[in-house]
Structure 1
Amino acid sequence: MNHQFPLITAHSGSMNTMDHTLHSVQTGLELGADVVEEDVRVTKDGIPVLAHDDEWTTVDSLKLFISQTTYEDLRELQFKFNQGEHRETVRICRLEEMLPLIQASGKVVNLDLKVDESIEPVAALVRQYGMSEQVFLSGCERDRAMLAQQSNPEMRKLLNTDTSLFRTLPYRKAMVQTFEDALAASCFGININHSIVRQELMDYAASLGLPIFVWTVNEVELMRQFADMGAASITTRNVAALVQLKQERLSERL
């Protein structure tokens, strides 16, 4: 089928950069990603920061929890960060440091919310920067999506698929439940682990007008597969390969 090529979403830490850093964000943008994905948590005093996990370890081997520590106490600390072959030290990065980069680029950011408490401060920053068209939320399974809809209905959001549904229910029943939850929470699409996706799901999504955002796809053959299936976005750490595939597809059409 002749689908439009998916949006290229740069996963945090793409191309062997460190997760949750401005370098990672800049790398994705410079390589030609349409969307940059980042995880968000909030400090004890409600400051949104880029982080997947709550627990971080300083270079002095002190364990801290973002949710239990104020940003003022975190801001000057250096943390150990082990990622693949990387052994680096990083500092906690505020969401507010990243948003101007996205704003200036004209691209879009996917903010993967890790806690309910992040909804309100994230929405406040988006309003402050006037970036409602450049930001959408993910990390929202049914309850968090409903909470976001109730408190900040103007924020665009994806429903994160509850993988346990697909482990415990027949595939079609889990699929239908997922889309019902998305519509109930006014989500504009579905964010889903690529291993769950079948053509049946893609066809059902198309019938409802809900785009499918697949994550995290790093192998070129899988990229081709999901592009052919009609995915609206492919999230990847291997941004360069997906950009190259897009260029190849465009050349084939000339």
Structure 2
Amino acid sequence: MQTFSSNGVEIAYFDVGEGEPTLLIHGFASTAHVNWAYPGWVETLTAAGRRVIALDNRGHGASAKLYEPEAYHTTVMAEDARALLDHLAIETADVMGYSMGARITAFLSLAHPARVRSAVLGGLGIKLIDGVGLPETIAEALEAPSLDDITDPQGRVFRAFAQQTRSDRRALAACIRGSRNLMSRDEVRQIGCPVLVAIGTKDDIAGEPHPLVDLLRDGEALDIPNRDHMTAVGDKVYKAGVLDFLSRRL
């Protein structure tokens, strides 16, 4: 991992392959490697002739850990992504985010339309604007003394995941409290780039894809059969759909 400074916050990233740039933004409690390298996305995209850039979001992986919720507002994390493009002198890129990373991608697309050629929102549908996918109770699960003290099933999943990735649980608790930001319907309508909304058909966190697609100027849905929020990430239907979507941007 290399690092750069985003307004004084050290952000880690990797940059591999050659060709059209694709920026990948991971989900909550994950990392660039866990979300994108381990499920085969980096291999898939580089084999398709693409340059792949992926960052560890602030509070995650090898990036700086901050402990105030306001440091994790989605607009702030979108600026980290924009700053990485600046650092690498990339004028425009295709951007794919998953879950929280999809929320960041949407906010980046709105704030900096010239920088996002196309966007893939994985694991995030109508809950971009209508409620938030991950409840704040996950922060309480992250702060609990042990996994055995957590009774909420979703909280247990994310606490176990955070422990598996050896994450800074205090930073993650601040992140989830600060990053659950909504976009209005009018703001969604202002996103002008082509957008693919890709969600597992058994995902009970993301919200439905089609109501969000109906609001977008140039949106399409990809249903990932029989996958939930966690298992959709590396699915072959997801990968094939994204490759097809990106090929139409060339």
Q: TM-score with structure 1 length normalisation? A: 0.35
TM-score normalised according to structure 2 size: 0.35
